[in-house]
Amino acid sequence: MSRAWARASSDTIAETPRDDRRLSGETPERNATHRGVVCGSTLRDWFSVPCSRTTRLINTVYAQTLNVLLDMLRLRTGPQDLPTSIGLLVVMVALSSVISLIGLSQLGGDQGIGPQIAVAGGFTLLFTWVALQFRGGVERFIQTTTALFGTDAILTLIALPATTGLDPESGEASPLAAAWLLMVLLWTVAVIGHIFRHALNLPLAGGVLVSLLYLFLSLNVTAAIT
């Protein structure tokens, strides 16, 4: 598994093909720069807008990152398959925070939501750093936290429909909402365990135990501080 991390760190997901035509499907003559236009292969086909090299590069990075994260939810890829990019980590933290803010806002009680999200995010960073430091893999910190925040954003988005079946005052949930949230919770435990399994070089059972410890401590620390 360590060789997989070494191979992933030497490769860059953000590399642009040498032949731009393989990505854009256009000849160099038509490959003009259009500043301020957000375009990808689908949008370009719809609106016939040629993509600049920079825009294509950005779209390719995020499209490939999304594919890796979706496969990670199916336990097919690991954090080692993500690029080591602080910028990408910041984007995932922001995305996870915004989606969590939307979900918590639907439950009512706007007070304390901001600090709660900030504490939860800070705990994720701290827990991951300590765990990697203990296992001697601090160089995997950015990739691991990118995976944690990225998958959290998607799983929270999947859980959002169930919040409509929750009563903010009583805290009771409809049977369908309760079953939906339980499914997402079990899925979250499996995904986080899968991520830590790869990051810490643990067997699957060890990764799941770390996942349960992480979620338990995160909930208690967040509740205690906020």
Residue 65: closest CA among 138, 184, 147, 141: 147
Looking at residue 43, its pLDDT comes to: 39
Query: The pTM is what?
Result: 0.74
Looking at residue 98, its pLDDT comes to: 94
Looking at residue 184, its pLDDT comes to: 94
Looking at residue 201, its pLDDT comes to: 94
Looking at residue 15, its pLDDT comes to: 43
The whole-angstrom separation of Cα 32 and Cα 71 is: 34
Looking at residue 129, its pLDDT comes to: 97
Looking at residue 125, its pLDDT comes to: 97
Looking at residue 115, its pLDDT comes to: 86
Residue-wise pLDDT for 78-90, tens only, equals: 999 999 999 999 9
What are the two backbone dihedrals, phi and then psi, of residue 173, each rounded to the nearest 5 degrees? -125, 150
Q: Which residues of the chain have pLDDT under 50?
A: 12-50
Looking at residue 57, its pLDDT comes to: 63
